[in-house]
Structure 1
Amino acid sequence: MRLFSKLFNSRRSRRDLHVLATDLCYSLEDLRHLWFNSCYEAFNVEAGEGVVKYLNDNLVGEADYAMRAYQLYLVSGFLAEHSYMEPSMTKEFISVLRQQILGTHLDECLLYYGRYSETNEGQRLSHFCKDITKHITGGETPMTESLLLLSRCFPILFNVTHMWVAKAFDDHETVHKLEDNFKKTYERTVTEWNDKALPILYEFYEDENQAKS
């Protein structure tokens, strides 16, 4: 990966970093909303036909801050894992991403970012899933819904976020591995949810995959 890093540094300017960050952020923004909507649908499928149980189907407020912060945490981790750039450029790229992903609610989002980054993986996932569940249910964090989000929804968010980062840097080997993981996770999850929870998210994946290929 060091060879790839040198090629990137020799071919891209700092202006390219901003363009790359902007393109990546557009994909991540779409993914945030579609993933959240899929979680909402999954909760209602689990509740049963004709049951209107959950209150909030829009990604706003605290849930939006939590989503932005967690995406930034994931992307930062993926960049560190793959070493696509030299450390100085990686630091600058993450700084640009932070401004674009967190937007005008920097302080609010950074509170969540600190909460997620200062705990171990198990606690981090638990905090994030409870934050999203609490918003959807209107203030409660039922164990069933939190576990549903953790076991069925989160793996898709993790894989697709990682995939967009790899695509942004033309890391085709990683992209192919993640595509296989995504399809397996999607097929298993949709079977469990009777084909109602994730079709829109899968269509987004297919459209983005064609556009970026």
Structure 2
Amino acid sequence: MSQSTASKRPAILIVEDDFEIARLLAVTLTEAGMTAEIAGDGADMDAWRRRATFDLIVLDVMLPGEDGFSLCRRLRAETTVPILMLTAQGEEVDRIVGLEIGADDYVTKPFSAREVTARIRSLLRRAAYAPAERDGLKPLRFEGWTLDPQRRQVRDPSGARVAMTTAEFDLLLVFCRNPGKILTREQLLAHTHAGLAGPIDRSVDVHVRRIRQKIETDPSEPILLKTVRLGGYMFTATVDV
């Protein structure tokens, strides 16, 4: 059992080589009722993950040795733990790349520790950290696929589990709950970021593209998740509860 499961205090791993930034964030998270550990690079991150389980990872892009992008790819290959990336101010390409490889959200430097804490709380809520919020949610089915909001799992028509990030799962859940409706990017951000000033609109496009790669027979010619010109997106499948 993880420390967070036993104590009900979310456990956060901060992967940041600037110790003062990491320490300030760790103190703020601790004051907010969480536990926080600090890793200075990828090797430290791996060491911490071997001896503890974390509910969320804060990952800086610029790290000595293996950079944050590479670490994010490695994490996504083996876990769906929410990842919040820290990127340089004005480096939009970093944010897009981070989202493309599976990060759930990002914050640009310099940042407010309180803003990061708010983002972390939002991601934990979206990952259904509180069991009570999941009670009574029944699986949704479309075209042989099954989406289980309580277990936060997606299974393909063969029954195999398909890995999805927190953001991808939340977007697909919104689509399944609103089949046949045109949803704008702003509506999708509002549904998946709990009212926070979430990532730039293009992040929705990135996540939708990743969802298509997983649920569409031909992602280049999507049938289930269509783009509506000047509108947003529409989920065309029939959804059964």
TM-score by length of 2: 0.25
Higher RCO (Cα < 8 Å, 6 or more apart) = 1
TM-score by length of 1: 0.27
